[in-house]
């Protein structure tokens, strides 16, 4: 049995919700990509991280069906669990910091695989969407909850046929939306997850959220 830590990333202020993440700390025990993909599929979380070097934060990220060069909630979760100043997925070095109850990473929008960001006219329209909506390709549905305050309501639908009908909290999509709008955002996603973003200089964007340990085994 693979030993994993199970985290909830981008929890709400009440500590609930958030996106479940599996972290395999001993990635060296599973060096083969096919074996890692099989473990991620068996776990069934939206993403699973394999830690290849805990001191340097070298990690490898898998959905139940594909390997990813970058993903937001796995890197926030890994940074929190490993307590490192940087995590290193295939996309590049991602700086990390802790600030009170929030863990932050700094990344670039061009690291995110393409996806559709579709704006709706109201929060009610976003809430009314089925999971998943008809269509193909990764969809990030969003609406302003309070535009002046930068508050957004969002839902995410991978539509990959891998058993994940709706992604509870998606840092990568939040990164893309922040880059498009060019402003800091406070995003309420899924059932009640919270993602905070802040654009920085030279195209870098910070993504922050709360993390809690669900179980280690």
pLDDT one digit per residue (tens) for the chain, 217 residues = 568 999 999 999 999 999 999 999 999 999 999 999 999 999 999 999 999 999 999 999 999 999 999 999 999 999 999 999 999 999 999 999 999 999 999 999 999 988 999 999 999 999 999 999 999 999 999 999 999 999 999 999 999 888 899 999 999 999 999 999 999 999 999 999 999 999 999 999 999 999 999 985 5
Q: Using CA atoms, how far apart are residues 126 and 55, in angstroms rounded to an integer?
A: 41
Q: Using CA atoms, how far apart are residues 94 and 175, in angstroms rounded to an integer?
A: 13
Mention every residue, 6+ apart, whose C-beta is less than 8 A from residue 9. Answer: 18, 19, 20, 21, 73, 74, 76, 77, 80, 169, 209, 210, 211
Q: CA separation (Å) from 177 to 12, 87, 168, 181?
A: 20, 22, 16, 6
Count of other CB atoms within 10 angstroms of residue 128:
10
**Look-up: residue for tokens 């890692």?**
36
The answer to whether residues 115 and 108 touch, using CB atoms and an 8 Å cutoff, is no
pLDDT of res. 204? 97
pLDDT of res. 128? 98
Task: Decide the pairing of beta strands 151-157 and 185-189.
Answer: parallel
pLDDT of res. 216? 57
Q: Using CA atoms, how far apart are residues 89 and 165, in angstroms rounded to an integer?
A: 25
Q: Using CA atoms, how far apart are residues 179 and 49, in angstroms rounded to an integer?
A: 25
Q: CA separation (Å) from 137 to 29, 162, 166, 172, 174?
A: 33, 12, 13, 15, 17
The answer to whether residues 86 and 94 touch, using CB atoms and an 8 Å cutoff, is yes
The answer to whether residues 171 and 205 touch, using CB atoms and an 8 Å cutoff, is no
Q: Which two tokens stand for residue 170?
A: 């998606």
Domains and CATH numbers, the chain: 5-94+211-216 (3.10.310.10), 116-207 (3.10.310.10)
pLDDT of res. 2? 67
pLDDT of res. 161? 85
Q: Which two tokens stand for residue 134?
A: 């008809």
pTM of structure: 0.95
Q: CA separation (Å) from 165 to 48, 129, 134?
A: 17, 12, 11
């Amino acid at each position: 049995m693979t030993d994993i830590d199970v985290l909830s990333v981008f929890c709400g202020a009440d500590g609930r919700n958030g996106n479940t993440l599996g972290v395999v700390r001993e990635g060296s025990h599973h060096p083969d990509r096919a074996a890692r993909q099989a473990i991620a599929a068996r776990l069934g979380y939206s993403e699973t991280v394999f830690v290849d070097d805990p001191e340097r934060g070298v990690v490898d990220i898998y959905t139940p069906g594909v390997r990813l060069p970058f993903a937001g909630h796995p890197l926030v979760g890994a940074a929190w669990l490993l307590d490192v100043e940087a995590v290193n997925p295939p996309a590049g070095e991602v700086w990390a910091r802790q600030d009170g109850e929030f863990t932050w990473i700094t990344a670039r929008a061009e690291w995110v695989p393409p996806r559709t960001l579709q704006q709706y006219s109201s929060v009610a329209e976003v809430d009314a969407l089925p999971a998943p909506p008809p269509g193909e390709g990764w969809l990030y549905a969003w609406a302003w909850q309070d535009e002046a305050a930068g508050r957004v309501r969002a839902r995410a639908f991978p539509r990959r046929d891998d058993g994940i009908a709706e992604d509870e909290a998606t840092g990568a999509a939040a990164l893309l939306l922040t880059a498009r709008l060019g402003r800091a955002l406070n995003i309420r996603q899924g059932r009640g997850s919270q993602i905070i973003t802040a654009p920085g200089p030279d195209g870098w964007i910070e993504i922050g959220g709360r993390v809690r340990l669900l179980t280690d085994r």
